[in-house]
Amino acid sequence: MTKLGRTTLLWMIPLNLVLVAWIWIGRIIFGVGGWFFLIFLVSIVPVVLIALILTTTLAFTQDGRPRSLTRVQAWAQVFTWLGLFGFGAFCPDFGDTEDSHISLLTQVFGQTDAMLDVSYTLVSGFALLTFGAYVVLLGALVFGRRAEDATMDA
């Protein structure tokens, strides 16, 4: 058991819930609100919520006491959180008016096409980071369980 593995496991439920809310409505804190509020509610939020419930359930039902994540599982979870945070922070949004295509970066550095391009690039990068880290996390949790089941059968 590592300290990182134990701490990460204990923070899984609260941080997963906070980050699901963050990718849904976190941009509003910075004055970036628009149609993605509704679009994400019926598209991204349910998928991310189900995915995080799956990995959290797998993590908490692993054998061993005290419960803990392995080093690979813990780092994959941390990078998943980082990706979700970045996606929620930098995702541009749009509205019904002509100049309503904004993001956190356009709020800070001015509404230019260059800042929107940077926002889209960052969001794409964070989305890829989230997906990749999540696949590693899911694989580590599933294959870790298989290894435990194989040792029990022997």
Q: How many CA atoms lie within 13 A of 110 on its CB side?
A: 3
pTM above 0.75, yes or no: yes
The pLDDT score that the predictor gives to residue 27 is: 82
Mean pLDDT by 10 residues, the chain (154 residues): 88 97 87 84 96 96 87 97 94 77 82 86 96 97 71 52
Longest dimension (CA), the chain: 66
The tokens describing 55, both together, are 């990995």
The pLDDT score that the predictor gives to residue 146 is: 62
The pLDDT score that the predictor gives to residue 151 is: 55
